[in-house]
């Protein structure tokens, strides 16, 4: 997605994410003709081919824009931005567990997006993809007093807004290759949340605010916390019950008379498929990695790994979408190779 | 004499589950107290205790939820053994926890007898009821017991009252356990077996009566057993390093609790995502079978079979 003149600042992580990002900001601040700095997690993949032009258009639309992201929310009162009103979620969460799969944010599909999926100003954007304007790169730094990882994005957006700049959510798309465990290190997350709320309470409207006296709020939140745990346990029970039901259905199907008497038909079919595959392997040439991707996008292939083959599992409607994404990925990889050649 | 009691809200449920358990477990001289359920569970339990207290020879009162079926024919003997050998035991249950952090009993170290959940969702089935809590096996002394089956010793029947100020009686099981503990009595989970016929859900997320009961119980019991007992306040809260005022401590606690709440919600969502993702291979397998040519070809055969089965069951009926 980078342009021929783009500078890529790849750095090994040093200390906390706050320190690592600040080191990159220092370096980027010295770059002449900087239009924007795009900060990515190592597991974030930009999908749109026209990412740079989209970003440029967003930044040009309002000189007060300081930060742009593709996932953002309004009325955010803590680092749990998802508890606010999420306005834009143009991301795909691609996970490796259970054979791999993907979950799409509600703005991922531009054609069928949610009615409340809107580009516009937000309180904060998620930090897996942050685009910073030059003014921000030169004026603001991540506050390492917050912790080591969590909360850096919300705190940074609050700093940006305090300086009078805007935080904008835009509909460019990115894939986050990430575990299904939404928050790693829950204790660290809680500490960071408290630190951010303490820092900004009274400085920024709504942060740390809520109805009732402090004692009432504490008691109610503790009760809601325990109910949330109970809900999690119920989800686990529900999944176990569903598993029993599915296993029973599969077992019944496989042991049914109809399935057993048609076993020879399936055996012949399997034989025929194997012969065809062998014949293809003998006559076909060795495909390049990218060609394999294109081939695989037409049908299930677990070897593709997370982010590519997952939707083949879900059903017919989603297979077509995978094909589109895979082709985009192939195209982007080819383009990336071309850029590498240009740069070298 | 060991008495049994049940507050009946749903007669069919009682006859299908609790009554069967009584038949299995009650002794020839056992009294069975059945009452129509009132809105507040604590009132129901107090009335049952009052009825049982009238008998001088009462050895214990076993109170069960209408959806709970006792599957252990030796329950009375087990109860008698415990109460005779350890008279300081005031309350017995089938599930409980040690040192719960809050009025939600599962926040402690969970201990459970053999408790099965028979559910109706997803085609119905059976699971260990407290599977996600990874409970330690009974028997064990605990601080609180869960109230789907409660055994009250004669002392408890005559000296304790379920707290009727708790909305809908939520948490009155935890409260009576803590009353027993504060009176110096022991609370015990015994080795037995029961089946609970009910839903997979534990608590409705929007049950405001439950939330309010949680708040009231926290106000009533927090710190009552010191810093190492049940419902101990967080150390930093009980013994602040500096001389911060009360309001500032509660503010800190509110922010921390809100953060913990969001973390718990996130963890719950993660469990849901894992659960759904883990089922995908099975769903695919079933879809592959049902979409296969051989499955479709043999569909008429299955229809005929279903028709035969229906006819046979109608004939049997």
State mean pLDDT over B25-29.
Answer: 97
Q: Are B124 and B222 in contact (CB under 8 A)?
A: no
Q: Is residue A90, in this structure, part of any structural domain at all?
A: yes
Q: Find chain B residues with C-beta within 8 A of A232's C-beta.
A: 132, 264, 267-268, 270-272
Under CATH, to which class is B2-213 assigned? alpha beta
Angle at B202 between CA B189 and CA B19, to 5 degrees: 60
Looking at residue A284, its pLDDT comes to 62
A102 and A232 within one domain: no
Nearest to A214 among B210, B254, B280 (CB): B254
pLDDT of residue B183 exceeding 80, the answer is yes
pLDDT value for A111: 85
- B106 Cβ contact partners less than 8 Å away, ≥ 6 residues apart: A226, A229, A230, A233, B97, B100, B130, B133, B202
**A187/A300 same-domain check:** no
Are A53 and A199 found together in one domain?
yes
> Average pLDDT of B196-215?
95
Residues A90, A226 within the same domain: no
Q: Examine the domain organization and report whether A147 and A100 are in the same domain.
A: yes
Cβ atoms of B253 and B237 within 8 Å: the answer is: yes
From B58's Cα to the closest Cα of chain A, the distance in A is: 37
Record: contact B298-A219, CB cut-off 8 A: no
Residue B184 CA to its chain's centroid (Å): 24
Decide if pLDDT at B244 tops 80. no
Taking residues B34-57, report their average pLDDT: 97
Question: What's the confidence (pLDDT) of residue B14?
Answer: 97
Establish if A274 belongs to a structural domain.
Answer: no
Rounded to whole angstroms, the Cα distance separating A86 from A74 reads 6
Q: Are residues A295 and A172 in the same domain?
A: no
Neighboring chain A residues of B215 at a CB cutoff of 8 Å = 216, 219-220, 223
Backbone phi, psi, residue A170, to 5°: -125, 160
Interface of B with A in 242-281 (CB under 8 A): 247, 250-281
Cα–Cα dist B254/A290, whole Å: 53
Distance from CA of B32 to the nearest CA of A (A): 33
**ipTM of this complex prediction, to 2 decimal places:** 0.91
Q: Using one digit for the tens of pLDDT, what is the confidence trace for B252-269?
A: 999 999 999 999 999 999
Angle of CA points B103, B163, B20, to nearest 5°: 85
pLDDT of residue A292: 39
Residue B176, both tokens:
């009576």
Name which of A301-315, B1-15, B112-126, B173-187 the model is least confident about. A301-315
Residue of B nearest to A224 (CA): B261
- Distance in Å, alpha carbon of A135 to nearest chain B alpha carbon: 32
pLDDT confidence of B236, banded at 50, 70, 90?
confident
Mean of all residue pLDDT scores within chain A: 83
Residues A322 and A219 reside in one and the same domain: no
A230 and A325 in a common domain: no
The answer as to whether A279 is a domain residue is: no
Domain boundaries, position A339: 285-343
pLDDT in tens, B75-99: 999 999 999 999 999 999 999 999 9
pTM of the model: 0.84
Same domain, A157 and A240: no
pLDDT at B169 exceeding the cut of 80: yes
The ranges assigned to domains in chain B are 2-213, 241-317
Yes or no, beta carbons of B271 and A236 under 8 Å apart: yes
pLDDT-based confidence at B108, cuts 50/70/90?
A: very high
Looking at residue A15, its pLDDT comes to 87
pLDDT of residue B130: 96
- For residues B176-197, average pLDDT: 98
Select from B15, B17, B1, B10 the least CA-distant residue to B149. B17
Residues of A in contact with B202 (CB under 8 A): 230-231, 233-234, 237
Listed residues A264, A293, A327: the one ending a domain: A264
Q: Return the residue in B223, B232, B275, B296 with the most chain A beta carbons within 10 A, the one to mutate for interface testing.
A: B275
Contact call for B264 and A98, based on CB within 8 A: no
Question: Could B102 and A266 be called an inter-chain contact, meaning their C-beta atoms sit closer than 8 Å?
Answer: no
Instruction: Tell me: pLDDT of B201 over 80.
Output: yes
The pLDDT mean for chain B works out to 95
Backbone angles phi, psi at B195, to 5 degrees: -125, 130
Q: What is the Cα–Cα distance from B101 to B55, expressed in whole angstroms?
A: 37
Enumerate residue ranges in chain A where pLDDT < 50.
285-344
Domain membership of residue A46 (yes or no) is yes
Summarize the confidence of residues B46-59 as an average pLDDT. Answer: 97
A261: closest CA of chain B, how far (Å): 9
Q: What's the structural domain count of chain A?
A: 3
Nearest Cα residue in chain A from B210: A223
């Amino acid at each position: 997605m980078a342009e021929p003149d783009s500078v890529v600042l790849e750095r090994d992580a040093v200390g906390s994410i706050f320190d690592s990002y600040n080191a990159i900001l220092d370096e980027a601040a010295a770059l002449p003709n900087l239009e924007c700095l795009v900060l990515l997690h190592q597991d974030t993949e930009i999908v749109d081919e026209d990412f740079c032009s989209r970003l440029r258009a967003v930044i040009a639309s309002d000189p007060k824009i300081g930060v742009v992201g593709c996932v953002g929310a309004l009325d955010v009162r803590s680092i749990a931005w998802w508890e606010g009103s999420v306005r834009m979620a143009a991301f795909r969460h691609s996970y490796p567990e259970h054979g791999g799969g993907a979950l799409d944010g509600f703005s991922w599909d531009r054609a069928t997006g949610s009615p409340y999926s809107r580009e516009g100003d937000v309180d904060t954007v998620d930090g897996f993809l942050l685009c910073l304007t030059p003014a921000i790169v030169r004026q603001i730094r991540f506050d390492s007093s917050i912790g080591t990882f969590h909360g850096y994005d919300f705190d940074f957006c609050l700093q940006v807004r305090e300086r009078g700049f805007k935080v904008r959510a835009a509909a460019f798309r990115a894939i986050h290759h990430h575990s299904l465990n939404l928050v790693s290190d829950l204790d660290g997350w809680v500490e960071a949340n408290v630190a951010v709320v303490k820092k900004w309470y009274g400085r920024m409207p709504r942060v740390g605010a809520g109805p009732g006296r402090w004692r009432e709020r504490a008691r109610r939140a503790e009760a809601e916390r325990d109910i949330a745990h109970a809900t999690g346990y119920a989800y686990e029970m529900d999944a176990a019950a569903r598993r029993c039901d599915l296993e029973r259905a599969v077992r019944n199907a496989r042991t049914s008379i109809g399935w057993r008497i048609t076993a020879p038909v399936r055996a012949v079919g399997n034989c025929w498929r194997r012969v065809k595959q062998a014949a293809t392997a003998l006559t076909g040439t060795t495909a390049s990695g990218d060609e394999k991707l294109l081939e695989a996008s037409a049908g299930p292939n677990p070897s593709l790994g997370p982010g590519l083959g997952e939707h083949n599992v879900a059903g017919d409607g989603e297979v077509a979408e995978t094909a589109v994404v895979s082709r985009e990925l192939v195209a982007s990889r080819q383009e990336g190779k071309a850029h590498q050649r240009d740069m070298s | 004499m060991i008495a049994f009691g049940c507050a009946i809200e749903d007669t069919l449920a009682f006859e299908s589950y609790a009554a069967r358990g009584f038949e299995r477990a009650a002794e020839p001289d056992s009294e069975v107290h059945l009452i129509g359920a009132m809105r507040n569970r604590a009132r129901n339990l107090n009335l049952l205790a009052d009825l049982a207290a009238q008998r001088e020879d009462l050895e214990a009162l076993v109170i069960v939820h209408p959806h709970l079926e006792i599957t252990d024919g030796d329950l009375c003997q087990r109860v008698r053994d415990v109460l005779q050998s350890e008279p300081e035991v005031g309350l017995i249950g089938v599930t409980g926890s040690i040192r719960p952090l809050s009025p939600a009993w599962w926040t402690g170290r969970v201990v459970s007898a053999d408790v099965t959940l028979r559910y109706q969702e997803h085609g119905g089935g059976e699971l260990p009821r407290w599977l996600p809590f990874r409970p330690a096996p009974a028997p064990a002394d605990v601080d609180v017991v869960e109230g789907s089956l409660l055994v009250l010793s004669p002392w408890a029947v005559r000296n304790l009252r379920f707290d009727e100020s708790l909305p809908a009686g939520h948490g009155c099981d935890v409260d009576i356990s803590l009353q027993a503990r504060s009176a110096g009595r022991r609370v015990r989970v015994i080795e037995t077996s029961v089946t609970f016929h009910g839903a997979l859900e534990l608590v409705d997320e929007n049950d405001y009566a439950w939330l309010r009961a949680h708040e009231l119980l926290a106000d009533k019991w927090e710190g009552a057993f010191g810093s190492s007992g049940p419902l101990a306040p967080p150390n930093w809260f009980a013994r602040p390093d500096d001389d911060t005022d009360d309001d500032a401590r509660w503010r800190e606690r509110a922010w921390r609790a809100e953060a913990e709440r969001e973390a718990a919600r996130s963890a719950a969502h993660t469990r849901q995502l894992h659960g759904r993702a883990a089922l995908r291979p099975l769903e695919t397998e079933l879809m592959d079978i049902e979409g296969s040519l051989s499955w479709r070809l043999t569909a008429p055969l299955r229809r005929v079979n279903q028709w035969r089965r229906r006819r046979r069951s109608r004939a049997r009926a």
